């Protein structure tokens, strides 16, 4: 049997979460989020350990992990940039942001060599008024054009704090210009 991957504090939180529900399985997603926050991603060992806590099979837990896109099986880096590329965001310039992220960070889902960041294309973030909509570590970033993606990545690489960087990007966000013939 493998040594525990999750801390005793997380085990205690998991038991507390489970106690809130008539069926402890109802707390599974909460515990998986807590585990991902602690470890950085959901490893096979995390799946097995969480399954043991819930008295479930590893396959049951893995099924939940693979169904929900917010659970990452590979470490996404300290900063995960998620960019919507659906219609409204594509129209507003998401394709340019994709190319800029590919240039600055690398291939989608790959983590930079320094472990600082990775990026992914996502479905609608329900933030169309700020297209191209994006998030960094699930915090909204409006109007992530190619230029703003370059600013974002540069600031994060320079070691600036995420809240400060996001506040700046939010403060100077502008709605996309719609062509007159649209």
Q: Cβ distance 77 to 115 under 8 Å?
A: yes
Tell me what pLDDT residue 144 has.
96
Average pLDDT over residues 93-104: 96
Spatial separation of the C-alpha atoms in residues 31 and 17, rounded to whole Å: 7
CB 132 within 8 A of CB 92: yes
CATH number of the domain at 8-67, please? Answer: 1.10.10
Alpha helices in 23-161 (DSSP H): 28-39, 44-54, 58-67, 87-91, 94-104, 146-157
Tell me the pLDDT tens digit for each residue of 125-160.
999 999 999 999 989 999 999 999 999 999 999 999
- Both tokens of residue 127? 């933030």
Residue 182 has pLDDT above 70, yes or no: no
Q: What is the pLDDT of residue 176?
A: 55
Instruction: Please give the pLDDT value at position 175.
Output: 62
pLDDT band of residue 4 (cuts 50, 70, 90) is confident
Position 69 scores a pLDDT of 83
Q: Show the tokens assigned to 59.
A: 């396959």
- Residue 1, pLDDT > 70, answer no
Q: What is the pLDDT of residue 173?
A: 84
pLDDT of amino acid 177: 63
* pLDDT exceeds cutoff 80 at 73: yes
pLDDT, average across residues 25-40: 94
Tell me the average pLDDT across 69-75.
88
Model pLDDT, residue 2: 72
| Fold agreement between 8-67 and 79-171 | no
Domain boundaries, the chain: 8-67, 79-171
Distance CA 144, CA 152 (A): 9
Return the higher-pLDDT residue of 117 and 69: 117
DSSP state of 111: P
Which residue carries 């394709």 as its tokens? 95
**Tell me: domain 79-171, CATH 3.90.1010.10, correct?**
no
**What is the chain's alpha carbon radius of gyration, rounded to the nearest angstrom?**
19
Query: Quick check: helix, strand or coil at residue 170?
Result: helix
Give the pTM. 0.77
């Amino acid at each position: 049997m493998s040594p525990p991957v999750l801390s005793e504090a997380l085990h205690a939180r998991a038991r507390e979460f489970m106690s809130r529900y008539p069926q402890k399985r109802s707390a599974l997603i909460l515990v998986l989020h807590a585990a991902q926050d602690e470890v950085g991603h959901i490893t096979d060992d995390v799946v097995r350990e969480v399954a043991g806590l819930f008295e479930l099979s590893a396959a049951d837990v893995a099924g939940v992990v693979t169904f929900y896109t917010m659970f990452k099986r590979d470490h996404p880096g300290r900063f995960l940039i998620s960019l919507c590329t659906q219609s409204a965001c594509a129209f507003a310039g998401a394709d340019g942001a994709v190319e800029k992220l590919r240039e600055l960070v690398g291939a989608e889902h790959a983590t930079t060599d320094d472990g600082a960041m990775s990026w992914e294309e996502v479905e609608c973030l329900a933030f169309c008024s700020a297209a191209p909509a994006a998030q960094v570590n699930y915090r909204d970033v409006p109007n992530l054009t190619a230029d703003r993606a370059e600013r974002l990545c540069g600031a994060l690489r320079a070691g600036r704090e995420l809240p400060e960087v996001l506040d700046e990007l939010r403060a100077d966000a502008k709605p996309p210009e719609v062509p007159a013939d649209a």
